[in-house]
Amino acid sequence: MANLTINGKSINVDVEDDTPLLWAIRENVGLTGTKYGCGIAQCGACTIHIDGIAMRSCGISVSEAVGKQITTIEGLATSDGALHKVQQAWIKNDVPQCGYCQTGMIMAVAALLKEKPKPTDKDIDETITNICRCGTFQQVREAIHAAANA
Amino acid sequence: MNKHITPALSRRAFVIGTAAAGAGLAVGLDIPFGGPTVVRAADGSPEVNVWVVIRPDDTVVIRIARSEMGQGTLTGLAQLVAEELECDWSKVTTEYPTPGQSVARKRAWGDFSTGGSRGIRTSQDYVRKGGATARMMLVQAAANEWKVPISECTAANSTITHTPSGKTTTYGKVVEAAARLSPPADADVKLKDPKDWKIAGKSVLRLDTADKTTGKMIYGIDVKLPGMLNAALKECPVFGGKLKSYDEAKVMGMKGVKKVVRVNDSTVAVVADTWWHAKTALDALPIVWDEGENAKVSSESIAKWLAEGLDNSQPAFIGNQNGDAKAAIAGAAKKLEAVYNYPYQNHAAMEPLNATALYTPDKCEVWTGTQNGEAAFAAVMETSGLPADKCEVHKLILGGGFGRRGMTDYVRQAVSIAKQMPGTPIKLLWSREDDMQHGTYHPVTQCKLTGAFDKDNNLTALHVRISGQSILFTVRPAALVNGMDTAAFQGLAPTGDWAIGYSFPNLLVEHSMRNPHVPPGFWRGVNVNQNAIYLECFIDELAHSVGQDPVEFRRKLMSKHPKHLAVLNAVAEKVGWDKPPPKGVYRGICQHMGYGSYVAGAAEISVTDSNKIKVHRIIASTDPGHVVNPAQIERQIAGSFVYGLSALFYGNCTVKDGRIEQSNFDTYNSMRIAEMPKVESVIVPSGGFWGGVGEPTICVAAPAVLNAYFAATGKRIRSVPLKDQDISFA
């Protein structure tokens, strides 16, 4: 049993301490916007925020996340439902294709913009390392700049 | 092609399919005594026909039979229906009919398969007719109500106007009456000229984006059903090997474990409360495999066997031939010969394969992302042993397909597990490692090309000899033509959707078929990927060997191929071929044809340390005949370059001891945003035909870069991937 704080709510999760946070979020908490893609922190589909920093939840155990502020894609919008500016830019720029990697991509970008509100292309290249097999990178880059300027 | 409502069902209201999750729809049939028939959607709204449901609030529900996996087909098909329907685009929503409903209604929605870049081009005619037919019925209903001739009424933006009186009504108000009318005769249904399109042909935003940005979109992996358990599986690592035994006692006590199941001859699964528990127990399960003879096979042994097929003495199928290429080569003043090869590659769609199955003796339902709903349905019938009226497949949005989700292995496995646990929904999820090591791989081939010149450096003959694996031999043997896999000649065929873009005085294209034990499959672009490298890099070699400009050399061979030439010229113009590139930048160019579309590409690259490539700029042109959504075509072009360049730089699934060595993205890499070149699309539709979009441009990605690499370094790369040549992204 572990007590996690997810999207501002305190939640008791009945799992072993070494369970990857990804699976606790998906299977025990039931928030499925965080995606499984590789399980070895390579692809970034499971990116969430831990204390505001983008992390790959497949590589973090539940015990490591206790006492931290966990934000998933479901918690990115404000409590009144207004979408985050990255989500808005994604919609306006028609970024997603299959969309499976995009929630992780959006979480990674939201964290980047928090740290660097006006990222350069070089910042983007160095920070955004998520895999997208559909190949949406051109629109991702455009939408990051659009969100930064929104 | 247009199939109208066929209410061949019993005289009572009923509901097919309960979509507990996902995008299935329920259909009710309302047949009042003595009156005409109306088929109703789950919420009671009437169908005007199988493609169009209109709600009283004017919402237009357009049915989409093809699968959406990112390629934009869902939006494109809706645009085509809406265009003819003359409806308000802002009120359009979509839903998938289920394969079970389609079977029950005599395949009312036609083909569900979504591969071969066919989603729009092979259904555009009947879905447009569906929209036009519905519009005519709605206008007729209004005319009937007003007691005026239909010729005095017009429809636009979901509103019907009686022009002489100025009276108006909306689709939602007349739909009940329209749904009771007989559809007009096929001959009376006239489709618009594409030049008059207002919704189709435009870059409208996709209809499926919002939920993909909030985490609300439900993919197969996200399905939840009451009482559902989760399954993880292991398949014999050697293809063709068998499951000998396993010791379930060792894991039955582990947390959450409910059952260990023999899935089929080669596969065992653990079923548990959560997938993580199932996977943890599976990893602890002692399993004994009978790996069989295939365990001796390696990439090296396969390469040796394929190389033997390059020898002209070996039997081969002829895919294209004119003149006598062998004689012309024998008597040539000058010859050039080169051998290329292409490896096994995995699809690696971002969403690992999965299917959720619920079996009872009376019904078997499956929830899954599939590129072929009807093939999945047939797989459910076959594995469950139940008849069609007791089976159903609920399709979900796919987290990528690229050809892999046209296969049904994962659906069969889910049903097999569920059948051993009747009444309990089972979600089977593959790990990424399962996906990497049990793919249906881009087939392995080698190719020897020989060109001949006369003493004046005129090309007199080309001989293309491919040796290697056939996809159809394994996947669709009934499609072989006297043993020949015609798909092996994609882009090298004499005419049609796969026509070669050159005329040679003497030409011979042949295929020595050799089928290793590694299962092949359709992989975005399929055989144009390697065929375009073989032909377009070798044409480049031929041009350079006689000191000619690669574009001019091609043009001389293309006078009888104006559409191929037009896209090549479009790319040459856009990249500025007649002017030198910036200092330190080098260019490569190529053209090909696939899926009925003409494509060409050019790359501008720089190379540092002789082995680090920076791709500065990609120009890609396509002539797909008609354009339904330009912005989506641009995205398919850019995306196909990511997929194609990932394959060129990284893609190699090697075989050792009969199994695939790579297991995840750490050993089978994929391009990141930092490596993404700027892709400039040049879309030049010439009309008169419908070509594909999702796949064709992928095949010009690799040859454009390889030809640019030669221009930069003087080194010709004839083997994929580049990482194995110690070449990387800068």
| Predicted confidence (pLDDT) per residue in B105-144, tens digit | 999 999 999 999 999 999 999 999 999 999 999 999 999 9
The pLDDT assigned to A129 comes to: 98
The pLDDT assigned to B610 comes to: 87
In this structure, whether the domain defined by A2-74 belongs to CATH 3.10.20.30 is answered with: yes
Q: Between B70, B432, B631, which is nearest A134 by CB?
A: B70
The pLDDT assigned to A141 comes to: 98
Sort out which chain A residues have CB atoms less than 8 A from B222's CB and list them.
32
CB contact under 8 A, B215 and A103: yes
pLDDT digits (tens, 9 = 90+) for B623-669: 999 999 999 999 999 999 999 999 999 999 999 999 999 999 999 99
CA-nearest of B49, B119, B16 to B389 is: B16
pLDDT digits (tens, 9 = 90+) for A17-73: 999 999 999 999 999 999 999 999 999 999 999 999 999 999 999 999 999 999 999
Q: Between A91, A133, A138, which is nearest B670 by CB?
A: A133
Counting one residue from chain A and one from chain B, the pairs whose CB atoms sit within 8 A come to 180
Contact B337, B445 (CB under 8 A): no
pLDDT digits (tens, 9 = 90+) for B267-323: 999 999 999 999 999 999 999 999 999 999 999 999 999 999 999 999 999 999 999
Q: Between A27, A38, A97, which is nearest B635 by CB?
A: A97
CB contact under 8 A, B212 and A96: yes
CB contact under 8 A, B215 and A28: no
pLDDT digits (tens, 9 = 90+) for B330-356: 999 999 999 999 999 999 999 999 999
Q: Which residue of A has its CA nearest to B694?
A: A134
pLDDT digits (tens, 9 = 90+) for B491-544: 999 999 999 999 999 999 999 999 999 999 999 999 999 999 999 999 999 999
Q: Is B9 exposed, middle or buried (0-12, 13-18, 19+ CB in 10 A)?
A: middle
Conformation bin of residue B555: beta by default, left when phi > 0, alpha when psi is -120 to 50: alpha
pLDDT at B36 exceeding the cut of 80: no
- How high is the mean pLDDT of chain B? 95
Neighbours of B300 (CB within 10 A): 11
- Both structure tokens of B96: 């998938």
CATH superfamily of A85-148: [2Fe-2S]-binding domain (1.10.150.120)
Q: Does B623 touch chain A (CB under 8 A)?
A: no
CA-nearest of B179, B186, B192 to B1 is: B186
Domain boundaries, chain A: 2-74, 85-148
Give the distance from CA B55 to its chain's centroid.
33
Percent of chain B with pLDDT over 90: 95
pLDDT digits (tens, 9 = 90+) for B589-608: 999 999 999 999 999 999 99
CB contact under 8 A, B431 and A30: no
The pLDDT assigned to B162 comes to: 98
What SS3 state is found at B417? Answer: helix
Contact B668, B721 (CB under 8 A): no
CB contact under 8 A, A32 and B212: no
Q: Which residue of B has its CA nearest to A24?
A: B276
Contact B232, B287 (CB under 8 A): no
Taking every pair of C-alpha atoms in chain A, what is the biggest distance, in angstroms? 44
**CA of A34 to nearest chain B CA: how many angstroms apart?**
7
Q: Is B545 exposed, middle or buried (0-12, 13-18, 19+ CB in 10 A)?
A: middle
The pLDDT assigned to B136 comes to: 98
3-state secondary structure B301-350: HHHHHHHHCCCCCCCCEEEEEECCHHHHHHCCCEEEEEEEEECCECCCCC
**CA of A73 to nearest chain B CA: how many angstroms apart?**
6
Q: Which residue of B has its CA nearest to A126?
A: B674
Report the run of H or E that residue A5 belongs to, with start and end.
Answer: strand A2-6
- Both structure tokens of B567: 């896209």
pTM score of the predicted model? 0.95
User: Average of pLDDT values for B179-202?
Assistant: 97
What SS3 state is found at B264? Answer: strand
CB contact under 8 A, B635 and A98: no
**How far is Cα B343 from Cα B669, in angstroms, rounded to an integer?**
15
Q: What's phi and psi for B546, nearest 5 deg?
A: -115, 15
Q: Which residue of A has its CA nearest to B678?
A: A138
ipTM, two decimals, is: 0.98
pLDDT at B7 exceeding the cut of 90: no
Sequence-ordered list of residues with C-beta below 8 angstroms from that of B340, at least 6 positions apart, any chain? B446, B447, B449, B530, B533, B534, B537, B538, B718, B719
Q: Does B69 touch chain A (CB under 8 A)?
A: yes
